[in-house]
Amino acid sequence: MKKIFIIGAVVATMGLVSCDDTITKDPLDEFINNSEYWSNKVNLDNQCNRLYELYSGYGNAGSGGWFYFKSLSDDQANATFDTWTFTNVPSTASEWKNAWTEIRGIGYILDGLKLSSLDAETKVYYEAVARLNRAWQYYQLVRMYGDVPWVTTALDPSDEIVYGAREDRDVVMDSVLADLNFANSVITGTDKITWNNGMVNAMKADICLYEGTFCRYRTQADNGKAADEVRANKYLAECVDACEAVFDHGYALNDSYKGNYDSDALESNPEMIFIKAYKKDLFMHSTIDYTSSSSNQYGITKDAFDSFLFLDGKPLATTTMDTNDAAELKEKIVGEDTIKLVSISKVLSTRDKRLTALVDSCLGFKGYGYKRVTGANMTSSTGYTIGKFDNPEKYDLYYRQNINTNYTDAPVFWLAPVYLAYAEAKAELGTINQGDLDKTINKLQARAGLPAMTTKPIADPNNDMCVGNDLLWEIRRCRRCELMVDNWYRYWDLVRWHQLDKLDTNLNPDILLGANVSNIPNLEVEVNANGYIIASTGANRTYSAKHYLYPIPSGQITLNPNLGQNPGW
């Protein structure tokens, strides 16, 4: 029987136990904080299981999750336009408030374990789970806010530390690494729907890759702190170690790239390390609905489309294959009707197979809607409709095109990002060899129908990231294509590479463009002079160095002036 974690509902987690005792926004109102409570293993399970809420996956019910919805990047264009997360200093912010709520809850667990009479081995396991999730939460906070207070206990509002200054973000991240290493020494196993050692190391690889590259590329002027090569190399080495620990568990790539995203059976998928499991008619999401119904989709951009290699392994600038990307108008007879379709099948036939899995073979835009087999006409801001999460051959229309009816499982940590992290970290360290590529990134290349990558790829004239290393450029390209519309990876990759200016629409107009419809008559969408759909008319997003950090909410500074404000805000 498939196990499932029900988050944020009356039914909770492992074994479908009650969550009446779950810590909420005000934990002291919900349970008696004493030795008896924390000596009951069921109570500890309840408190630790609620931490699964930190892993959004495809979201809960009608809410959006990590995939597809995080469209502030150069990969997607929202027709209503995504500006920066913050353009002004807010008085309150859920990103700040929710993080501290979770950290406070974790503090209650850690404090409670000190009162518990359970045996030492049991207590150290729950401590490891709590510290693992504290690390994950602090990682999110540091990415967003930089310097933050480091809190190791459940604070009472009267505690002095509440009114103290923020801790240097490097010091906080060192504490995050200590938490990860502690969890790694305790948590074992490979069960894909509970805390497991593969998941711990996949998380560590993700965090250490971020920290290592962020510290390498940051600048005093833009980030308030100069690059630190020693620190960068330390964290990149930790990333490599974590990846190798994942490899030791024997995970293997799934044969199907798309099969990682459109299945309700991820627990049996050899590539999965940690998943968020859903259950038909019990606990569902809406990601498929938003990418297969009449809602106007956040399509991928021309810039994103052009990042995919041709099947000869070469980019747009150097390939000898047909580079014509214009869509073709075709007719299809369905019953007594003749339907006009805007096909890109020919365009897709020459590209990386991940692109075919990502988008549909026909465009959908105003005046030329497209149905994916059956159901509603789909449209997209850029014409490219996202097919990656849908599986019309397997799931009935009702379970695809309605809010809170989708029950496919969501990958949270899986092997492909670990392969990418390993290759990138070793390339940054200058220690990568052909064997490293062959055991990681070239497996992704093969699944995508592309030739193997070598340590000395041909230079791409469109390398616009000031990366002198051609191999590193190609590894970053592979990462972008492999993880497109996944988990907001792209936005935070641009942050850690110090490339946030790529989201400036004045400098990079292709991030507001979509498909080439120059051959299509009677257009109802706006196009540029070359026939590319303009996704967001009149949109403008200007980069400023202050956007590398979110602003501290003004209400928090009023309560605690020692917090100070981030640069530029």
- Give residue-wise pLDDT tens across range 482-495: 999 998 999 999 99
Check whether 26 has a pLDDT greater than 60.
no
Inside any domain, residue 366: no
pTM listed for this prediction: 0.94
- In angstroms, the CA 259 to CA 476 distance is 23
Kindly provide the residue ranges of all beta strands, DSSP E only, lying in 392-509, ordered along the sequence. Answer: 410-414
Tokens (6 digits) for 400: 């695809």
Number of Cβ within 10 Å of residue 564's Cβ equals 12
Inside any domain, residue 393: no
Q: What's the domain range around 449?
A: 188-277+414-498
Inside any domain, residue 122: no
- In angstroms, the CA 97 to CA 350 distance is 47
Contacts of 116 (CB under 8 A, 6+ apart): 35, 38, 39, 44, 123
Q: How many domains does the chain have?
A: 1
pLDDT mean over 369-395: 95
Q: Answer yes or no: are the C-beta atoms of 278 and 406 closer than 8 Å.
A: yes
Q: What is the CATH number of the domain that holds 478?
A: 1.25.40.390
Q: Answer yes or no: are the C-beta atoms of 476 and 498 closer than 8 Å.
A: no
In terms of Cβ atoms closer than 10 Å to its own Cβ (0-12, 13-18, 19+), residue 298 is buried
Inside any domain, residue 336: no
Tokens (6 digits) for 89: 């200093």
pLDDT mean over 84-113: 95
Kindly provide the residue ranges of all beta strands, DSSP E only, lying in 47-198, ordered along the sequence. Answer: 76-77
pLDDT mean over 272-280: 98
pLDDT mean over 216-224: 96
Inside any domain, residue 544: no
Write down the H helix ranges in 363-469: 415-429, 434-439, 441-447
- In angstroms, the CA 551 to CA 122 distance is 40
pLDDT mean over 511-533: 97
Write down the H helix ranges in 116-270: 120-145, 169-186, 197-217, 220-223, 229-247
Instruction: Using pLDDT thresholds of 50, 70 and 90, give the confidence band for residue 32.
Output: confident
Question: What percentage of the chain has pLDDT greater than the value 90?
Answer: 88
The residue that leads in pLDDT, 316 or 14, is: 316
The pLDDT value given to residue 157: 59
The residue that leads in pLDDT, 24 or 293, is: 293
437-452 residue pLDDT tens = 999 999 999 999 999 9
Choose from 21-30, 79-88, 96-105, 124-133 the range with maximum mean pLDDT.
Answer: 124-133
The least confident of 169-183, 463-477, 482-496 is 463-477
Inside any domain, residue 361: no
Inside any domain, residue 455: yes
- In angstroms, the CA 272 to CA 410 distance is 10
In terms of Cβ atoms closer than 10 Å to its own Cβ (0-12, 13-18, 19+), residue 553 is buried
The pLDDT value given to residue 23: 34
Strand partners, 275: 411
The pLDDT value given to residue 18: 28
pLDDT mean over 404-415: 98
Check whether 6 has a pLDDT greater than 60.
no
Inside any domain, residue 60: no
The pLDDT value given to residue 160: 53
